[in-house]
Amino acid sequence: MRRSTTSAGTKRRSLLGLLIAELIFGGVLLAQPRSATPPNPPLAAPPSLLFLTATSTTETLSDRRIVRLIGLGGPDTAPLLARIDAEMDGAAQAVTAFWGPDWPREVLIVAAGSDAQFRQLAGGSADIAATTTAERIMFAPGAAAMSDAALRIVVRHELFHYAARADTAPDAPSWLTEGVADYVGRPPAPRPGNATELALIPTDAELYGPDRSRAYDRAWWFSRFVADTYGTGTLRALYLRACGHGHPDSATAVRDTLGADLPTVLSRWWQWLTG
């Protein structure tokens, strides 16, 4: 499955990408106060989008969040955005069920028209389906080839990153940010049993390396373990402690949240995973 990521869109954007991104996002207001009150009416499309987009639609979800879907050309952009749109209600419900309702009331989703455009605007490589920043979620053209089940996972994964972005430090541990996003995004699955190689926290090099799918699996299984053993509320608390602004090191965050040192927790994870 093509992986998704949250780092490339903010770390490797070129000057031209920044200028174009300003054109795309400069007129879109995404910093409304977060509350349970109904959102403002749908925003008018920024004039600059007339020069850059092939499609631009606005939808209202069942929780009254506003979703703007923007296509930047390409033959598969409109069908891809339609499929993403069909997933958004379920994705928003999944994110709120885990994170709570306090996340942005407006979501901007952009579909790149070409791989070159995706690299330029989002820093994404050929094996990445989507990237997320505080401003938007951007999908690569290759996401159009994903199965419905795989696309559903990516949409929920990226929407969680978008929801949690304001509470996530730039140097948050990737194994936890990605593992929790996969926990929100993936459907339940039986524990693999006897898969001892999965009971290892992945490094950043592994998460962004050639075998990233296996590394994501390991991050996901750790989050699954915490949620199943300590509860989903504790997994959320661990995310906030370990990934929030001013966070301590991961070992301290684990001890503070789970009440045991990291080696003990990893031993329990191994027993849970292989039992």
Q: What tens digit of pLDDT does each residue of 135-152 get?
A: 999 999 999 999 999 999
Do 77 and 203 lie in one domain? The reply is no
Whether residue 198 is found in the same domain as residue 217: yes
User: Does residue 3 sit in helix, strand or coil?
Assistant: strand
Same domain, 27 and 92: yes
pLDDT band at 199 (very low <50, low <70, confident <90, very high): confident
Residues 135 and 43 in one domain: yes
Residues 162 and 178 in one domain: no
- Rounded to the nearest 10°, the torsion over CA 110, 139, 155, 40 is -10
pLDDT for the residue 275: 77
What confidence category does residue 27 fall into, taking pLDDT thresholds of 50, 70 and 90? very low
Residues 261 and 233 placed together within one structural domain of the fold? yes
Give tens-digit pLDDT for 62-93: 999 999 999 999 999 999 999 999 999 999 99
Q: How many CA atoms lie within 13 A of 184 on its CB side?
A: 31
Q: Which domain holds residue 36?
A: 3-167
Domain ends where: 139, 167, 195? 167
The 10s digit of each residue's pLDDT in 158-195 is 999 999 999 999 999 999 999 999 999 999 999 887 67
Cα torsion 162, 163, 169, 171: sign: negative
Give backbone dihedrals phi and psi of 125, rounded to 5 degrees, phi first. -90, 180
Kindly report the backbone phi and psi dihedral angles of residue 106, in degrees, each rounded to the nearest multiple of 5, phi listed first: -130, 135
Specify the CATH number for the domain of residue 115: 3.40.30
pTM over 0.75: yes
Predicted local confidence at residue 221, as pLDDT: 96
Length of the chain: 275
Same domain, 152 and 34: yes
Note every long-range contact of 145-149, with CB atoms under 8 Å and residues 24 or more positions apart, other chains counting: 146/1, 146/2, 148/83, 149/187
The number of domains in the chain is 2
Indicate whether 80 and 188 sit together in one domain: no
Together in a domain, 69 and 187: no
- Burial (CB < 10 A; 0-12, 13-18, 19+), residue 201, is middle
pLDDT higher at 28 or 254: 254
Of residues 12 and 197, the one with the higher pLDDT is 197
Residues 60 and 119 in one domain: yes
Q: Are 99 and 129 in the same domain? A: yes
pLDDT band at 209, cuts 50/70/90? confident
Is the pLDDT confidence value at 26 over 80? no
Which of 167, 189, 204 is the last residue before a domain boundary? 167
Average pLDDT, the chain: 83
Domain boundary residue, one of 167, 195, 216: 167
Residues 65 and 150 grouped into a single domain: yes
C-alpha torsion angle, residues 108, 40, 163, 187 (rounded to 10) = -80
Q: Write down the pLDDT at residue 5.
A: 58
